[in-house]
């Protein structure tokens, strides 16, 4: 899936490195698909890369099929498919998959595959370069840049987004670098501006402004002093802008250290600070672009308005008409000369950007909107020049000029571009709002050895380093992710999680940067700063989602390849048909306006066809809707990882739910214990807790928490468990105090050959009938007790299943729990199809069965054991409060952990794709109707013709209408049924 390609290059940091609490919120995907282990140990050594020659691919859709087939395999880190050169480069983990399996997967997708370059160990991490690309006007521009970068040596993957005018390039730092990538963009005729560079998203980046560096020696001194710092990974300098960009490990260093080191090289000589954001941010660039087009439009009006009055108004006022008709040389009059003089600056100074764009496009054998505009305006302008010069040299020639056509055409197109960039700026409003959540400054506390506050100072938020202690006063925004070390308060997290109710915070509780503190003072220890923070990762995820192309966009990409040449051909044919018809008197002379001849009439038809067709509207139809849709989703607490996920979600007709933590609250509690042997309950639970303490399963945690009640201690120390083994989906076993302990379900006991007594079976059946989970405990291979655990249903689960049914989406439950409990829960929520006692691989197999039967399947889960199913599904939806691995394997993250957001995600995707279809209808319908009218289809019957300047205005309006149509998505409201459901949930909460 396109959105996952951005970040599978990163591996989550080993959680054991940081014992401090931290919020579990989604980050960019970092785990290889199918890897269900925590941390990266054991993975690094097994990473390998192989290149395959793939035959049978003919288009981007084929490449997408190969990419998806490969990514469905477990242990795939990256897969880049090059349709032009017929090859696929795959980075994978040998512990999970090998070259033969990858080749077979490609062949199963219907293509030929052959290993051309053997796998090699690869411990390096790909780097990511983000560029802003200026000058792109339509899809053919973005396609030209994208293909040029994808073909460059060392580029793993390149994505260029027309709507955001940005590129994200994953590359091998041993082969190429950002400077080379920018040069490639410049060579294609567009301007590249570096946004960020360095290691992939696992590291933090920052830009510093350094003053006082005036020579190569001083630059070298600063560079070497920074490189000497531990944790500095990459440095790039642009001394013309006094800017240094650093990628670093926040575990080891931070921005305050960089500033101190730079300034210590020469007290008073060098000065360093965080680089001002004004000249760098997307929003700042967008505002500058809006001002640029506004200025161009105003200047064009200064010259175009006189041309309009000279040709359209003054000619009908007797006094001014006589003045304009005064002859200067032969038949050339004052009006013609004035129109020529005023239209020339519009054509060659204000309209110069169209010449540049057309030249750059044609240089690389492609044609864009600038080519159409340049041809159309030049045809009108130079024919007018010819007409005026011939009138000046002839005593009897009386021609007609079209100077108003070229100048008004350029003015209207500039007005359209101004309105377009104005509207496009609003499509990224969601990201701007997210980025503005972080406060500009923070209060840094200084503590002594005993933890007492000895001082405080206000600093720029970007200068916060890991393990800093920050003071958060009432009403202030939390400056960084971290955990509370002192104080208590309530924090409003709705802007990040969508959860409306303030969350209580006290010592040890995690907090998220950008959230708002309530009524108490908090001291927070920073754990995740810079690009590591939850907010930064959410912003990056949404940005990457907006960069990724939806499969439906390939339709526009295919059209754009031949659109402009086709329009030019139609324009020429229109002119030729009308010219020949006039030449051979195929229509009456009375059809020709008195102010022109048959050639000029034909010329107007040809120019109108050329300028009315608009490839921009087609190119913007999908990305603008995806941008707004993903932004709206983020504001609703639904993180959608790209156009692929959006497109798949709107087709979903079957949803597979996990049980624990998804349909249920996920915080099970022990409700009863039945011992089958005589022994003290405290001794029984000491043995069980000693075995279960090593398990991450929610049921195991419930058992350990219950066992802790027998000890009057906050963190009791349990007996040592030796030879611990966790059987995923079944239970655990260990040796405790010399006894062989096994804790799990029926399947585990049967596999271990432990007999289950009739009494134990009876207790289990009774427990499961009441929708509780029964856990069997064996001591020395003999069933000793049965623990009943209850995990209540989430509020509104039944209503959600009912609403999905009304949306023609069927629901299925797949769980590792026993059949009895699974059936009882399913009946309670209204699910008819149940698969119980399923291991992780069985969940994925069930999804593949459903897909084979023709269903488009979504999987909703929250645990490590759900990861293979999340990857196998057409759309994986992870509950936001679940494990990091489940979140990273998913296509959509439900940050509020509410089941009703499943409905929001599907409904939003349907609304978004409805908007995309409407955009295509407008864009294609406009061209299909506009071109014949411009070509004169209505002229024989109605004498209606479309002047070129009106055709140009219509072309400009088409792009604006498509962007505005997408912008209407910003007013999306989730289904009203969910509002009623939320009210019901509040009632349930208050009564319980």
**Angle of CA points 179, 181, 184, to nearest 5°:** 110
CA dist 739 and 722 (Å) reads 10
Structure tokens at 488: 């208590």
557: number of Cβ within 10 Å: 19
CA dist 45 and 39 (Å) reads 14
Q: Which residue has the tokens 């020709």?
A: 592
- In the chain, helix, strand, coil percent, each to 5? 50, 20, 30
382: number of Cβ within 10 Å: 13
Q: Which helix (H) or strand (E) holds 764?
A: helix 758-769
| Cβ atoms 392, 330 nearer than 8 A | yes
**Angle of CA points 916, 919, 920, to nearest 5°:** 90
Q: Which residues are catalytic?
A: 658
The CA distances from residue 315 to 195, 325, 388, in Å, are 53, 9, 17
DSSP character for 37? Answer: -
**Angle of CA points 638, 644, 649, to nearest 5°:** 55
How many alpha carbons fall within 13 Å on the CB side of residue 877?
A: 30
| Pairing mode, strands 638-640 and 833-835 | unpaired
CA dist 939 and 946 (Å) reads 9
Nearest alpha carbon to residue 376 among 408, 421, 400: 408
Q: Which residue has the tokens 């000619």?
A: 315
DSSP string, 832-860: -EEE-S--HHHHHHHHHHHHHTT--EEEE
Sheet bearing 857-861, strands edge to edge: 638-640, 892-894, 875-879, 857-861, 654-657, 810-814, 833-835
Q: What is the 3-state secondary structure (H, E, C) of 286-315?
A: HHHHHHHHHHHHHHHHHHHHHHHHHHHHHH
CA dist 190 and 360 (Å) reads 8
Structure tokens at 341: 């003089």
| Cβ atoms 202, 153 nearer than 8 A | no
Q: What is the 3-state secondary structure (H, E, C) of 182-202?
A: HHHHHHCCCEEEEEECCECCC
| Cβ atoms 815, 835 nearer than 8 A | yes
Q: What count of residues does the chain have?
A: 992
Which residues are CB-contacts of 717 (< 8 A; sequence separation ≥ 6)? Answer: none
The β-bridge partners of 53 are 87, 114
CA dist 303 and 310 (Å) reads 11
CA dist 356 and 346 (Å) reads 15
CA dist 52 and 111 (Å) reads 11
DSSP character for 796? Answer: T
753: number of Cβ within 10 Å: 7
Measured between alpha carbons, how far apart are the two ends of the chain, in Å?
A: 43
CA dist 865 and 306 (Å) reads 72
Structure tokens at 401: 């000029």
| Cβ atoms 191, 160 nearer than 8 A | no
CA dist 903 and 882 (Å) reads 19
CA dist 520 and 506 (Å) reads 10
């Amino acid at each position: 899936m396109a959105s996952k390609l951005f970040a599978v290059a990163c591996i989550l940091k080993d959680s054991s490195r940081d014992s401090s609490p931290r919020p579990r919120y989604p980050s960019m995907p970092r785990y290889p698909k199918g890897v269900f282990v925590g941390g990266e140990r054991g993975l690094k050594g097994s990473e390998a890369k192989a290149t395959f020659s793939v035959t049978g691919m003919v288009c981007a859709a084929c490449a997408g099929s190969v990419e998806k087939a490969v990514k469905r395999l477990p242990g795939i880190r990256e897969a880049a498919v090059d349709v032009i050169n017929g090859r696929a480069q795959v980075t994978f983990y040998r512990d999970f998959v090998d070259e033969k399996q990858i080749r077979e997967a490609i062949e199963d997708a219907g293509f030929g595959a052959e290993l051309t370059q053997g796998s090699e160990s690869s411990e390096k991490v790909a780097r990511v370069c983000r560029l802003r690309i200026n000058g792109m006007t339509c899809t053919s521009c973005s396609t030209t840049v994208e293909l040029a970068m994808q073909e460059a040596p060392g580029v793993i993957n390149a994505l260029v987004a027309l709507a955001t005018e940005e590129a994200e390039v994953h590359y091998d730092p041993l082969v190429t670098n950002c400077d080379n990538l920018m040069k490639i963009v410049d060579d294609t005729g567009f301007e590249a501006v570096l946004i960020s560079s360095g290691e992939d998203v696992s590291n933090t980046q920052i830009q510093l402004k350094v003053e006082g560096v005036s020579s190569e020696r001083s630059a070298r001194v600063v560079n070497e002093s920074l490189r000497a710092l531990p944790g500095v990974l990459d440095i790039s300098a642009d001394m013309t802008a006094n800017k240094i960009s650093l990628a670093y490990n926040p575990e080891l260093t931070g921005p305050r250290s960089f500033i101190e080191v730079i300034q210590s090289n020469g007290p008073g000589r060098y000065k360093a600070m965080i680089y001002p954001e004004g000249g760098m941010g997307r929003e700042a660039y967008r505002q500058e672009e809006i001002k640029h087009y506004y200025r161009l439009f105003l200047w064009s009006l200064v010259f175009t308005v006189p041309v309009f009055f000279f040709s359209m108004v003054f000619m009908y006022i007797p006094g001014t008409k006589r003045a304009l008709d005064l002859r200067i040389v032969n038949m050339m009059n004052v009006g013609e000369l004035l129109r020529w003089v005023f239209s020339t600056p519009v054509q060659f100074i204000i309209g110069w950007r169209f010449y540049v764009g057309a030249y750059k496009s044609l240089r690389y054998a492609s044609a864009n909107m600038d080519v159409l505009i340049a041809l159309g305006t030049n045809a009108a302008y130079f024919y007018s020049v010819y007409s005026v010069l011939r009138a000046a040299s002839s005593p009897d020639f009386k021609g007609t000029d079209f100077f108003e056509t070229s100048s008004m055409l350029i003015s209207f197109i500039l007005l359209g571009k101004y309105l377009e960039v104005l509207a496009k700026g609003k499509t990224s409003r969601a990201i701007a709002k997210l980025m503005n959540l972080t406060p500009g400054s923070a209060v840094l506390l200084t503590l002594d050895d005993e933890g007492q506050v000895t001082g405080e100072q206000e600093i720029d938020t970007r200068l916060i380093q890991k393990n800093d202690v920050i003071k958060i006063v009432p009403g202030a925004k939390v400056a960084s992710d971290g955990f509370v070390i002192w104080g208590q308060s309530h924090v409003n997290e709705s802007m990040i999680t969508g959860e409306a109710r303030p969350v209580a915070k006290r010592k040890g509780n995690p907090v998220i940067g950008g959230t708002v503190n309530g009524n108490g003072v908090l001291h927070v220890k920073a754990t995740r700063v810079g690009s590591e923070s939850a907010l930064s990762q959410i912003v990056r995820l949404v940005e990457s989602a907006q960069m990724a192309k939806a499969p439906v966009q390939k339709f526009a990409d295919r059209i754009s390849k031949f659109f402009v040449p086709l329009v030019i051909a139609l324009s020429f044919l229109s002119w030729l048909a009308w010219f020949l018809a006039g030449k051979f008197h195929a229509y009456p002379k009375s059809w020709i306006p008195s102010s022109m001849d048959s050639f000029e009439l034909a010329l107007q038809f040809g120019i109108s066809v050329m300028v009315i067709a608009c490839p921009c509207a087609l190119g913007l139809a999908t990305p603008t809707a995806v941008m707004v849709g993903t932004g709206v989703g983020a504001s609703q607490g639904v993180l959608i990882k790209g156009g692929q996920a959006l497109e798949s979600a709107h087709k979903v007709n079957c949803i597979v739910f996990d049980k624990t933590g998804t349909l249920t609250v996920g915080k099970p509690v022990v409700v009863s214990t039945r011992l089958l042997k005589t022994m003290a309950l405290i001794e029984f639970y000491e043995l069980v807790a000693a075995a279960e303490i090593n398990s991450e399963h929610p049921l195991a945690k419930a058992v350990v928490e219950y066992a802790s009640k027998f000890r009057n201690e906050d963190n009791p120390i349990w007996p040592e468990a030796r030879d611990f083994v966790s059987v995923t989906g079944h239970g655990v076993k260990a040796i405790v105090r010399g006894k062989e302990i096994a804790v799990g379900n029926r399947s585990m006991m049967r596999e271990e050959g432990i007999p289950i007594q009739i009494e134990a079976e009876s207790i289990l059946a009774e427990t499961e009938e009441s929708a509780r989970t029964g856990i069997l405990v064996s001591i020395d291979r003999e069933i000793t007790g049965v623990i009943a655990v209850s995990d209540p249903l989430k509020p509104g689960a039944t209503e959600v299943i009912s609403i999905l049914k009304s949306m023609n989406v069927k629901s299925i439950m797949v769980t590792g729990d026993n059949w009895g409990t699974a059936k009882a829960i399913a009946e309670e929520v209204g699910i008819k199809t149940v698969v119980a006692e399923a291991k992780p691989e069985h969940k994925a197999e069930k999804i593949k069965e459903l897909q084979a039967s023709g269903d488009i399947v979504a999987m909703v889960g929250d645990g490590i054991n759900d990861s293979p199913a999340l990857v196998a599904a057409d759309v994986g939806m992870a509950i936001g409060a679940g494990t990091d691995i489940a979140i990273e394997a998913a296509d959509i993250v439900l940050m509020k952990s509410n089941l009703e957001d499943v409905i929001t995600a599907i409904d939003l995707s349907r609304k978004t794709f409805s908007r995309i279809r409407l955009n295509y209808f407008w864009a294609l319908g406009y061209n299909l109707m506009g071109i014949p009218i411009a070509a004169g289809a209505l002229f024989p019957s109605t004498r209606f013709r479309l002047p070129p300047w009106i055709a140009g205005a219509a072309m400009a309006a088409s792009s604006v209408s498509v962007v505005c149509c997408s912008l209407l998505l910003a007013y999306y409201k989730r289904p009203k049924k969910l509002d009623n459901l939320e009210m019901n949930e509040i009632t349930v909460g208050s009564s319980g």
